[in-house]
Amino acid sequence: MLKNHVEQEKPQEEELLRRLEDARNHLFALQMQIKERALPVLVLMEGWGAAGKGSTIGKIIRNIDPRFFKVATMSAPTEEELRKPFLYRYFARLPEAGKFTFLDSGWMEEITGDVLRGKLDEKGYASRIDSVKRFERQLTDNGYLVMKFFFNIEEKEQKKRLDGLLSNEDTRWRVSESDRWQSKHYDKCLKVFDQYLNDTNASTAPWYIVDAHSRKWAQLQVLETLCQGIEVALQNKSLAVPLLQNTFPLEKMPRLDEIPLDKTMEEAQYQEELDKLQKRLGELHNRLYRKRVPLIIAYEGWDAAGKGGNIKRITGALDPRGFEVHPIASPEPHEKARHYLWRFWTRLPKTGHIAIFDRTWYGRVMVERIEGFCSTNDWQRAYNEINEFEKELVDWGAVVIKFWVHIDKETQLERFNERQNTPEKQWKITDEDWRNREKWDAYEAAVNEMIQKTSTTYAPWHILESVDKKYARIKALKIVIKELEKVLGE
């Protein structure tokens, strides 16, 4: 793209200044539409060192109400961030609906930098490219405007700017080791940058090459392109997004009504197995930490199926410093204003730690679907998005275990009545539980579809028959231990 890019003809100074003023006013007017239409805007500024990305961001944000934007300079990942998935720190910085986020460099710089330093081989690069393409497509599919700019300058111009900065002791600090290395290896960097830009150029999130030889001209190119992008995105807000075919390998799963629920366990056997299995899980937790393997356990199931007691028997075996349980309720306003997976990305464990989710990202294709909290297009699209999300986790090195805690309708009614009639258990039963029960058939159909479409070979569903809670607890412990032994080579 860089080698074949045809530069626009720079306007004369008078026309440039006039267009700059028009573009600033246009952006100022558009920000209210962005707020009213709840459009989130993510602007990625990439390019050569000393090409003027930071100064251009500074000029652009002067035309935006400071309550509606954030700027993040994405330097090298911290030690903490390196213990999370590659995309974690970018997901964490997504703007709320109706606001801007400007990234001064981002995932392009991180990936190309790793390639140039020899940290990413061809296979690793291809995997990162797939991650980025899925990430950007998921954002645009979920209503984000993603604008990607690459600030381009020639080798001589970069050297001239760096020499100028280095000659002044007040600006010398602005030249990084990376900038120096780039300047010395310009052609090598050009080849890697060009490859990346070609590999990640998509119609939904295209690259815009900015001629950055003149700072005012660069600012005008960004402003006019940004305004055009916003106008198109506002027009697209009401349009449905095409559904993608599944490309992930799936495991054949039974329907819920095909699963026998007559499994039981005697108390004595339960206690004996519980002690043995918890001891073994505790040993594996120590090795998990030592080998820096993250574990994610996702619990879904019917109300009153026994998720809480099941989770308690898992955590009873674990070092409390190495796990966290996330009870997932209705999204808070700041969560609802972002991509629906944002609140799960930001709760992921670091390597060697365990995250247990009591309710999960599958709410998108169950409660949000049944209760009409999202559009039909949203939940139909979510099966593929969830498979992509879990693939990112597994590719990162995580063990992902998903449980559906299963009971029949009669058992649920018995447990509801018991809760209703037992004072110390009444807090467990709500009007919403009774309302959900009335929609049992609709939920069962949704769960069957969910399990069929998201039981991938790398993150399959495990059904816990929980009419006898003791049986379900022991089965869950055995599955967790088996999966950990597999990944730890036990």
For the chain, the domains span: 13-236, 256-488
Tokens encoding 205: 């999130």
One CATH from 3.40.50.300, 3.50.50.60, 1.10.730.10, 3.30.360.10 for 256-488 = 3.40.50.300
pLDDT greater than 90 at residue 424: no
pLDDT at 422: 87
Query: Which of these, 439, 481, 445, lies nearest to 462 by C-alpha position?
Result: 481
pLDDT at 139: 97
Write the DSSP assignment of 441-458 as a string of letters: HHHHHHHHHHHHHH-BSS
Scored b (16 or more CB within 10 A) or e, 407-441 reads: bbeebbeebbeebeeeeeeeebbeeebeebbeeee
Q: For residues 419 and 224, give the distance between their C-alpha atoms in angstroms, rounded to a whole number.
A: 61
Q: For residues 191 and 469, give the distance between their C-alpha atoms in angstroms, rounded to a whole number.
A: 60
One CATH from 3.40.50.300, 3.20.20.30, 3.30.360.10, 3.40.50.720 for 13-236 = 3.40.50.300
Q: What are phi and psi of 355, to 5 degrees?
A: -120, 130
Per-residue pLDDT band for 433 (boundaries 50, 70, 90) equals: confident
Identical topology for domains 13-236 and 256-488: yes
pLDDT at 238: 82
- Which DSSP symbol is given to 97? T
Query: Helices 267-290 and 469-488 meet at what angle, rounded to 10?
Result: 30
Residue 385 CB partners (closer than 8 Å, separation 6+): 138, 141, 142, 341
Alpha helices by DSSP H, listed for 142-201, are 155-166, 177-184, 186-199
Per residue in 435-474, pLDDT tens? 889 999 999 999 999 999 999 999 999 999 999 999 999 9
Query: Which of these, 83, 144, 133, lies nearest to 340 by C-alpha position?
Result: 144
Do residues 83 and 142 touch, judged by C-beta distance below 8 A? no
> What average pLDDT does range 125-140 have in this prediction?
97
pLDDT greater than 70 at residue 4: no
Q: For residues 395 and 32, give the distance between their C-alpha atoms in angstroms, rounded to a whole number.
A: 40
pLDDT at 489: 87
pTM of the predicted structure, to 2 decimals: 0.92
> What average pLDDT does range 300-322 have in this prediction?
97
Query: Which of these, 414, 409, 412, 314, lies nearest to 355 by C-alpha position?
Result: 314
Per residue in 62-95, pLDDT tens? 989 999 999 999 988 999 999 999 999 999 999 9
Percentage of the chain lying above the pLDDT 90 cut: 91
Per-residue pLDDT band for 6 (boundaries 50, 70, 90) equals: low
Per residue in 188-233, pLDDT tens? 999 999 999 999 999 999 999 999 999 999 999 999 999 999 999 9
pLDDT greater than 70 at residue 3: no
Q: What are phi and psi of 244, to 5 degrees?
A: -95, 145
pLDDT at 408: 97
Per-residue pLDDT band for 9 (boundaries 50, 70, 90) equals: confident
Q: For residues 235 and 188, give the distance between their C-alpha atoms in angstroms, rounded to a whole number.
A: 41
Q: Reduce the DSSP state of residue 242 to 3 states and report it.
A: coil
Do residues 465 and 405 touch, judged by C-beta distance below 8 A? no
Per-residue pLDDT band for 429 (boundaries 50, 70, 90) equals: confident
Q: What is the mean pLDDT of the chain?
A: 95
